[in-house]
Amino acid sequence: MRGIDELSQALDSGHVTSRALVEDSLARIADPSGEGARTFIKVHAEPARAAADAMDVLRKAGRAPSRYAGIPIVLKDLFDIAGEPTPAGSRVLANAPDAKSDAPVVARMLRAGFISMGRVNMTEFAFSGLGINPHYGTPTSPWDRASGRIPGGSSSGTAVAVADGMAAAGLGTDTGGSCRIPAAFCGVVGYKPTARRIPIDGVLPLAPSLDSVGPLAPTVACCAAIDSLLAGADVPVSVVPATLSGARLAVPSTVVLEGMDATVTAGFDRALSRLSAAGARIDHVRFAAFDEVPSVNARGGFAASEAYAWHRRLLATQGGQYDPRIRIRIARGEHMSAADYVDLVHARRRLIAAFDAETAPYDAVLMPTVPIIAPTIAELDDERHYNSINMLILRNTALGNFFDRCSISVPCHRPGEAPVGLMLVGDTMGDSRLFAIAAAVEATVRVA
């Protein structure tokens, strides 16, 4: 995987053209031995070629709209693209009316000159962390492909496309971990911003109280640059790594470390040792606010209640076309009363304040992104196992959404081993600081 800054320099020097990058992406997508057929719901082949030729002309004339003009990206099937329906990984909306305009986040990426290679697969309606889709197929994680391991979800196609070089980067959404989980399982970087920084207009909702839009890419620097564009910056930022010596990092002593398998435990412990050797102070802390989250969300939380509000009419008329495992999760929201929802809102506000106070002394909170390596698709055929593994996979990442934090997953595994993600959680609206810390952490925990 080449980062977008490396590709930008190659384009500037004339060592590669945008058209060549696009043709390489299309060849990888079409490769019958690859995952393109399961990764893409729609390929934008001819528009991508035309856009690449235009960006090559503009770059030669010194008029490229940004330093990233001409670089291929992918877009999760949740985003409005003018002239196309927004199926959200479903069959229910496959013939929905075409979007009249691009979602603002899509428009900002295209305005910077990035080139869309197409719409990529996802968990139906973004309601699972596994990445399994019975309608369009399930792309497999790049590790141990012969065994057919899950890519993580819901931004499954984005992660696989980036990991397999079908695009240099991509956009995902994150309501409970949907950027960070597939990033961890596919060995790339995934970012969840402080939600209010990035517009979610033109993004089919799951739970607007928790929904956010973030990038998946090869490096922290890639994610930082794309995130700044998504937030409306005219010029993408260049992240400067922080100094780890003296940094205070907290590791929760309960909940997030439970149920870790041996591979994740080894990767996480190795990362902590490297950070400590770099001068970071690591404290193991019991965060009392974590203890209340399961009971507060016991009736389904924001995801079930807000998803049901959006889906209830479709469920009544076309419920049989949903993946039954997704339909059941959405239907939980039917049983939440208005009083339950109000209690949830108040409880979240109280717990956010408590967590803010608990984490005030620290530069970031560290935990495994996911406590286990990617299971195989086949072993999740059993519905009970599907549900239990899904909840385990979402457990750590969902805390960032509930507490309204920014968060990033950085690979910390050895080459050739199962991908393992190290997650950093920053302060609300502390995104720039988190990127600086994450860039330093990335350089420290990377295992050659």
Which residues are the active-site residues? 76, 154, 178
Nearest to 183 by CA among 163, 210, 167, 164: 163
How big, in percent rounded to 5, are the helix, strand and coil portions of the chain? 45, 15, 40
In angstroms, rounded to a whole number, what is the distance separating the alpha carbons of residues 59 and 66?
Answer: 9
**Angle, CA of 155, 133 and 403, to the nearest 5°:** 40
Sheet containing 281-285: order of strands: 40-43, 115-120, 72-76, 169-173, 213-217, 189-192, 407-411, 421-425, 364-368, 248-252, 281-285
Q: Is residue 149 within 8 Å of 172, Cβ to Cβ?
A: no
Instruction: Name 49's Cβ contacts closer than 8 Å, sequence gap at least 6.
Output: 19, 22, 23
| Residue 166 backbone dihedrals phi, psi, to 5 degrees | -75, -10
In angstroms, rounded to a whole number, what is the distance separating the alpha carbons of residues 136 and 38?
Answer: 6
Check residue 88 and give left, alpha or beta (phi > 0: left; psi -120 to 50: alpha): left
Q: Is residue 55 within 8 Å of 99, Cβ to Cβ?
A: no
Q: Which helix (H) or strand (E) holds 114?
A: none
- Give the pairing of strands 189-192 and 213-217: antiparallel
